[in-house]
Each structure stands twice: as C-alpha cells, then as structure tokens.
Amino acid sequence: MHKAYANRENGKKGGRPKYNANIRASIPEIELVILTPAQYSSLIQKYGYKLLNKALNILEYWLKSSPEGEKYRGKNNYAHFRSDGWVINSAKRSLT
C-alpha cells in the first residue's frame, strides 16, 4: 500500500495543493478574489474572458457583502470556479 506524505506541493496527506496567497494574478477591479497567474490563465482558456470576468465580479461581490463569504477572504478561490458551481452558473444566467 502506498503511503501518502504531506508536503507543500501536494497538500496535507496528498490532498489538494496548497497555494500561496501572496502569489496572485493582478486582475483589474478585483480585490478579494485570489487566483494564481496560472489558474487565471487556465480559467480564461476554459470559460473565455467575458464569462470569467462576469464570474469574478459575482464572486467579488459575494465575498464583500456576504457574511458567509468572510471565511473565504484571503484564501485562494480557484475552487469556486467549477463548471457546475454556483459562480459559473450565475454568470451564465446573467449573460443570457
């Protein structure tokens, strides 16, 4: 049986990778959403600039205004951009 080990690259016991919140993409008009440059470029390739920009604005507003969003401030927000997640679905609905 393969034993998992923890390190910075693969997260705790081989789980999700840990991302440094200090390494972040510079996105105009977005203050609270944290993505690495590689994550940001992969999201642009996946969703396109228009849909991603709308999704970023939706998530930014939620992080600013929602008490539930408080626990996600200052952390990497890449997980919010799942293709079946609420952020992308809200952006798709608002663009149509």
Q: Domain coordinates of the chain in residue numbers? A: 23-95
Strand, helix or coil at 7?
strand
The mean pLDDT value for 77-91 works out to 95
Cβ pair 80, 35 in contact under 8 A: no
pLDDT value of position 17: 60
**Residue 96 binned pLDDT confidence (cut-offs 50, 70, 90):** confident
pLDDT value of position 1: 44
pLDDT digits 0-9 by tens, 2-56:
455 555 555 555 555 666 656 788 888 999 999 999 999 999 999 999 999 999 9
